[in-house]
Structures are given as structure tokens and as C-alpha cells.
Structure 1
């Protein structure tokens, strides 16, 4: 029950087939497996052993994958880190995890050296100066299914970032469920434009492709026109992105002549942030493809997905539980709500992480009788086989004058206005009502409109208590690396 061993066994079935094509350079499954084994030997020469934490902060490159699966091979624990993290963040992650080895580049290290050089037990390894031993092969996979494979730190928008401890069993179970849900096959060709430090690009896209024996064409950076051209020229069948990526693909479509022939494509998949119904319908109108939206999080991997059959995909819905995943919707007292009522989403299954690294209190708070409290608010549609819809985060729920306001509902109404590109609803303190509904809005290019008109637009479609009491305009909504809107930053801007 070692994920790297599973991938090695799959590689043995597809030895001469291209596994990864990174910026024009091809690695067959045999090449990839050998490199992973060589890098695993290099780690053992450095004294890294089962259970040791190894942090990897690299720009997107093939070595990220060599190191990652090598770390898992020897039973060590991988910490993928964003190259854009600041020195204070890097120190926290390295210290909190008690990492034994930090793999990075000289350029990135120069930015954090003064902050981390006091960590006397930490080895530093520069990727560009590493030569993996070529004469030895690694064959021992010293882990069980419940051993930790990765520690992935949450975004930390409130309080300290928590390290989600994810086991080999978690990763394998989730990959197998996605293989079934998305009908992966060894004939698939995935175009990969996502970061490799995030679970979306690493665990969902990369792992899904390798597990299927498929081929992955990987770009260092996302470029809209190049994506459209490559989907056609390389006969790609699968593409994964975040809503920001899909919006840029939509924007680029108007500049394409002739329009891309996407006859060979199977599915476009979106995640990491909510896809607006405007993006869903516009993409379908332009391309003929309904984007498949799914629901996942760092702690659980993927929980739910729309069906692979296009006619069973719905805007604003994240679909149905994956195989092996159970979902409950509960109220504040922990009791199941009536079907179609909003409540907190609870998850149970082999995909759910082991707990927060060295935070037993936070772990205890996150679980109730084996159910993980996601902090997401949602409801199930009784008229559509309990299809799941998400309406926001529990911490983002606004209670104004005793009434609950779910930000997503108001955002959908605002974004239905022709002048609005995107919006974010936040709750701010109010003396009379406890909280007031406030909207941050980015307008479409060339548009100019008053807050009053947008408020009236809402009043025609929503109960008055749900309508924004204040609107402020921004050029762009602040987002993290995976496209999630950072509402805490907006709140700071307006307070």
C-alpha cells in the first residue's frame, strides 16, 4: 500500500509509452520510473528515512515529480511548497513539520536564507546541482496504507496554516474513485497547466494520469492561445483548470480563427474554486462542452463530481458523492437537516485525511464520530437524486438581523447583471443588524455603473435582507494561487 510502488507497477505495463512530455522533452514510463528510483537512492544517501519530512519548493519542472515520488518510495513524507511563499511562511512550514531536508533552487533559497539558516537540523539540497545515482535501483517500499505520504498546508486565511496529513491509502482510494468517475483510460492525453505544489495539479491531474497509464503533456506556464492550439495539435482528451483559467480561455476564443476543432476532447474539468454559472454557460455556448465541476479540498481530496455524461452536469452543482465517499448535511447541533435544506457538509470515507500535523486539538474539532466537518455549506436536491450544491463557507455565512445570508446566492444575482465581471460578498460589523451585506465588484471592461443600480438589480430578485447595503468597486478580486477569492483581504480593504 505504497502509492509510489503502485505507480511503478503501472509503469512496468507501459514501459515505452510516453508518460510525461514536459515542454517538448519526453519521458517514457520506463524513463520516469527509473528516475524516481534513482532519486530515491539519492535521498537514502542523504540519510533520509521512513517518516522524515522532506520539503520541496521548486518552480514547475519535471524534477518536482521525480523528487515527490522518490520521497514517497522510501516512506518519507513530502511537503510541496509554493515557490511564491515568503520567508516567514517557509520558516513556519519547515519548523512546524520539523523537516529534515529542504529541496529548492539557489535562486529561491537566496530569498529565504537569512530566515532559515538558524535551522541547524535542516539539510539544504539545490535541485540544479543534484545528480541522482544511476547505478543503483530502489526496490523497497517501506510503508503501509495508513502511513503519511504528504503534509499539505491549508491556505491559512484565518489563524495558523494547518498541515493536513494525507496517507498513502487516502491518495490511492481517491485516485481509484476518480478513475471510475471520469472514465480514465490509457488512451487519454491530458494537457497539464496547473501548479505542482497544489493537490489539484499533483494529486488529481498528475496522479490520475499516471495511474491510468495515460500520457500527460505538461506546460511550465498557462498561456490561453497555446492551450487551444495544443488541445487540437496533440489530440488531447482531458483538460483540468480553475475558473480563472477557464475565463481566460473564454476571452481568448474570440481571437481564434479558425475556431479549434475539439472533436477528440472528452472532458473539461474545473475545480479549486467555484465556477460561476455564467462561465459554465458561456463556455458551453462557445465550445459545445459542458465543463465538469467537482468538489474537493486539501483534507479529503475529491468528494463529489458531476457525472461524466455531459447531459447530467448542472451549473452551480458539484454533482454526486464519489465511490466510497459518504456525505451528510447537518445543522449547527450536528443533526441531519431535511433534504434541500442548507447545512454544513460532513464527509466520511477512505479519502479523508488522518488529521492535522501536530495539532490534536484542531483534529478533534474537525471530526465528529468519524465524520469530517468540512466547513462548507451546501444542500442536496431531493428532486435530482440528492445532487449536491455548495453555497459558501460556514465561516463566510452572514447573519444579518437574525437572518442567514449565503454569499454565493447574492454573488450569482450580481453576476447576472451585464456589467458585472465578478463579485464577492462579505459580512461586516453593523451596529443595528449585527452584520451587513457588503459587495466587492469588478466590472467588465468599459462598463460604468452606480452602486444604486446594482442594489436595485438585487432587490428585484432577492429578499431585501440579502441585498448589499454597500458596494465598492475593485479592478480585480484578490485571489490565492489556485484562484480562490481571498475575502479576508477584501474585508481589510473596506474596514
Structure 2
């Protein structure tokens, strides 16, 4: 899908009554489009020509304003996780070489950032000098953002996201979700990842709608926001799990969730048990979408026209080409729900490359130009994609079978005595790999018998998908977006 966008955030330049509608709300602090346009415009003139700028990405108005001002200036911001450790922060700064750091006035920065020139971000500022020309809209291929990956296979890499990619992915979601200026998105996601920043802040701003960020997630906060007129909730599975636990005992929360136009989950697979509990309590299905830092959004369940299928991430978005490829590089054209292949994509929402990493960029693409996501999936009837795990960690080859860890995890989560589950493949002299499950029981002091869980999986799926080992844990290691960090399980 070719995307023609003369301006990335057109609503910032609106005048008249439309400019006085809410743009950003964080907790009790709010900016209208008129105020955001003035403050972001003033900041854009301060940072114009700065090269790259770091943004200390706290969940605040200042972070959203800093990113917006940098985008207006055509200066790519690098959002930094405030919880990043000293070593990783040093790597990101050395790799990206920002000239400035943008931060809220009252925030104390770590020593490594204090060496940079600092620009404090005022929430309300006078607009730029009327005599000063506004920054020109940068070309579509210029860098909009540099977002660092989670570093699961080595040091984090900076994915350079062009303006073209942001516009393409947000416009494809406008089509899929019927997203308009009348929508208010409520969320509580971190602002240093694609989900919270691009979808949850820039998405509403591109549409001319509103953002309501809770700063800290609570089921009650989501309920209040929906009761007060928010129309869409963006969350990760951990948040939906807490909502699913709360709705059965809190009918007012169930009613609030039922008022939402869309409940959207992403960043990891939503367990089927939570799908069912929320749908039964609210009558409102949770829709899933699938994307990653380098590609932005690839697929989604549509707001209308497709019956949601729990466990799938929908169909390819407009403009996104998607294929499944087996280990020998042959494209799989079946929709049997069984044949596992790697997801490869191409289209206008892809990144430009990894900053300072030409070899890594080249290796990420197949010879014919498709991006290798590393995610394994099957295609079901109607073209719906069901992800079964990561190629590096979640494709288990056991006894001659190729097995996706994700389907076993869902089967375990369907057991009433299982709260959380992760599945890995471990070397086995007989099977090649044996299936190992890591389980947080519903009652930590009284876990179910391991054989009961093994038999449950065999009954739900197939005997060859039965875990051969069960490890019970009090918790599973997760990152900021709630994804289980499987490399840390043995530790």
C-alpha cells in the first residue's frame, strides 16, 4: 500500500474549535491540540539540526511532547528506558551518539547522560516566534525514530524507523480498526517501545483523536477511563490477565469493558483462558495484532468483517505482504493450521535498517528482499495467522515432529491449576529435544501433579506434544512488556 502523507501529524496545525479538543492526558495533566502544537513547535525550533536526540522516556506528558517536538523538527528521537542498566545504556549511547538529551524538568538523569547537553521539556510553552518559519516536513524516507530492540540475541540494535513506515502502519490500522478522530485510546504502556509510543501516542495524534495514559496500570483505572468516554484500550497480556481476574468479582468493571469499541492486545500471545473469561464477562472479544520493532504492525484481527478467532493474530494489514517459509526456503501455501513456517514480510511499514549494522541489516532479509521475522506460525482457514513461537527458542524438534511451544503453553494455561506457563526444548539423546514446561501453579503451596499436567496436554493436543518435564516456579522472568524471558528460566 503506497502511503501519501504530506504531514505526519496534521492535527497539530489545526485552528479554530477543533484545536481545543484534548490531545494528551497523563493522569490529571492534559494538553489540547492547540497547546501541544505550540509547545511542540517551540521545542522543535530548539532542537532543529541537532542530529539525533535521546529522550528519557518516563510515562509522562514530557516524553510525549519531547517525541512530538523532535518529529516536527525532523530530528530522530531515541527513547530510552529509565530502568535500563548502566552497561546497556552506555552501549545505546555509544552506538547512537545523540547530541542532546530531552527530559522532564524534575527528572534526575544517570551520570552517563549528564555528559550530554540537556534540554528540559516544559509542558506548556509559548509558540515559536511568528516570524520564524516552521520546520519543513521531512521527506518520507528520513528517520523518524530510532528504537532499540530488546537484545535477546546480543547487544540491542537500533532499528531506524522512517516517517514512511510510521504513516503506513498507522494508516493500515485506521483501515483495520476503523480508527477515527472520535476515538480516545486509554493505555498504561511504556513509552520506549513501539506499542506504547507509536501505536498508543502517535496513532491517536495522527488520527486527531485523544490519548489517555494512566501512568500506572490498574483495572480500576481502565474501568474509570472507559466509563468517562474512552473508546479503545491497548494492553499487553499481563494487563488483560489482571482484568480477566477482576471482572468476575467486579460487575462494574465488566460493564465498563463492554462499553469499549475495541479491546486490543499485543506484544505477546494472549492466553485462551483469558480470552474466554473476558468475552464471557463482557460480551466483548479481545482482538490481537502482531508486529515487531523492525516491521511495525503486520497483521490484525479487523474491527468488522472477520469473526475474531482467539489464539490468532488476524490477517495481513493493507499494504503488508506476508508469507510462511519452511526450513528449506520453500513458501507454504496451505491453510491447514498445521504446517509451521517462518513469517516473512515486506511492505512500506518496514524499517530502513539497523543503525551502524549493515551486516545485521543484510542478514535480516532473504535474498529476494523479504524480512525474516524469526517468528514461526501456521495459517488457518481464511488466512488467519496463528503464531507458535520464535524460531530460535520456540520451535521444538522432538521425535521427528516440529512442535510450537506456544500451543503447549496455551494448553497448560487452560488447566484450572495453572496460572502461568512457559515451554522450552531441551537436548535429549533419544528424542533430539524433549519438551520442558515451566509452570506457576494457581496455588504455589499445592501444585498439581506433574503427570496430571502432562496428560492434560496429551489429551488436548497429541501424545507427542506431552511435556516430558515440569518445573514449578513461584514466578516467571518477564520484560517490561510482560514477555517471558525464556533465556533466564534456568537461572
Assess if the C-alpha contact under 8 Å between 1:150 and 1:165 holds in 2.
yes
| Equivalent residue number for residue 380 of structure 1 | 379
| Equivalent residue number for residue 185 of structure 1 | 180
Structure 2 residue runs without a partner (length 5+):
none
2:385 corresponds to 1:408: no
Cα deviation 1:27-70 (Å, max 9, x = unaligned): 111111111101112224xxx43xx1211113211111111021
Assess if the C-alpha contact under 8 Å between 1:5 and 1:141 holds in 2.
no
Deviation at 1:314, TM superposition (A): 0.6
In structure 2, what is the Cα distance between the partners aligned to 1:145 and 1:258? Answer: 45
| Equivalent residue number for residue 14 of structure 2 | 12
Assess if the C-alpha contact under 8 Å between 2:301 and 2:314 holds in 1.
yes
Report the CA distance shift for 1:307/1:299 in structure 2 as closer, same or farther (over 3 A).
Answer: same
SS in 1 for 2:392: helix
Structure 1 residue runs without a partner (length 5+):
none
Assess if the C-alpha contact under 8 Å between 2:25 and 2:61 holds in 1.
no
| Equivalent residue number for residue 66 of structure 1 | 65
Assess if the C-alpha contact under 8 Å between 2:223 and 2:253 holds in 1.
no
| Equivalent residue number for residue 394 of structure 1 | 391
- Give the stretch that moved more between structures: 313-322 or 327-336: 327-336
Residue in structure 2 matching 1:235, options 229, 239, 252: 229
In structure 2, what is the Cα distance between the partners aligned to 1:133 and 1:214? Answer: 23
Assess if the C-alpha contact under 8 Å between 1:324 and 1:349 holds in 2.
yes
| Equivalent residue number for residue 29 of structure 2 | 25
Report the CA distance shift for 1:226/1:332 in structure 2 as closer, same or farther (over 3 A).
Answer: same
| Equivalent residue number for residue 351 of structure 1 | 349
| Equivalent residue number for residue 325 of structure 1 | 320
Cα deviation 1:339-390 (Å, max 9, x = unaligned): 1321000101100111111111111111122211100111212x32x11111
SS in 2 for 1:222: coil
In structure 1, what is the Cα distance between the partners aligned to 2:253 and 2:124? Answer: 45
2:249 corresponds to 1:248: no
Deviation at 1:21, TM superposition (A): 2.3
2:261 corresponds to 1:266: yes
Report the CA distance shift for 1:34/1:10 in structure 2 as closer, same or farther (over 3 A).
Answer: closer
TM, length-normalised to structure 1? 0.90
**Matches of residues 150-229 of structure 1 in structure 2 within 5 Å?**
150-229=145-224
Deviation at 1:131, TM superposition (A): 8.7
Assess if the C-alpha contact under 8 Å between 1:304 and 1:321 holds in 2.
yes
SS in 2 for 1:435: strand
In structure 2, what is the Cα distance between the partners aligned to 1:463 and 1:9? Answer: 53
Deviation at 1:89, TM superposition (A): 1.2
SS in 1 for 2:68: helix
Deviation at 1:107, TM superposition (A): 7.9
Assess if the C-alpha contact under 8 Å between 2:458 and 2:464 holds in 1.
no
In structure 2, what is the Cα distance between the partners aligned to 1:219 and 1:225? Answer: 10
Assess if the C-alpha contact under 8 Å between 2:12 and 2:34 holds in 1.
no
In structure 2, what is the Cα distance between the partners aligned to 1:260 and 1:453? Answer: 33
Deviation at 1:174, TM superposition (A): 0.8
Deviation at 1:9, TM superposition (A): 4.6
SS in 2 for 1:478: coil
In structure 2, what is the Cα distance between the partners aligned to 1:404 and 1:218? Answer: 42
Deviation at 1:104, TM superposition (A): 3.7
In structure 2, what is the Cα distance between the partners aligned to 1:11 and 1:54? Answer: 23
Assess if the C-alpha contact under 8 Å between 1:4 and 1:72 holds in 2.
no
| Equivalent residue number for residue 362 of structure 2 | 364
Cα RMSD of the aligned pairs, angstroms, is 2.4
In structure 2, what is the Cα distance between the partners aligned to 1:17 and 1:132? Answer: 18
Assess if the C-alpha contact under 8 Å between 1:225 and 1:252 holds in 2.
no
Deviation at 1:429, TM superposition (A): 2.5
Deviation at 1:468, TM superposition (A): 1.4
In structure 2, what is the Cα distance between the partners aligned to 1:353 and 1:134? Answer: 32
| Equivalent residue number for residue 96 of structure 1 | 95
| Equivalent residue number for residue 307 of structure 2 | 312
Assess if the C-alpha contact under 8 Å between 1:42 and 1:132 holds in 2.
no
TM, length-normalised to structure 2? 0.91
Assess if the C-alpha contact under 8 Å between 2:42 and 2:125 holds in 1.
yes
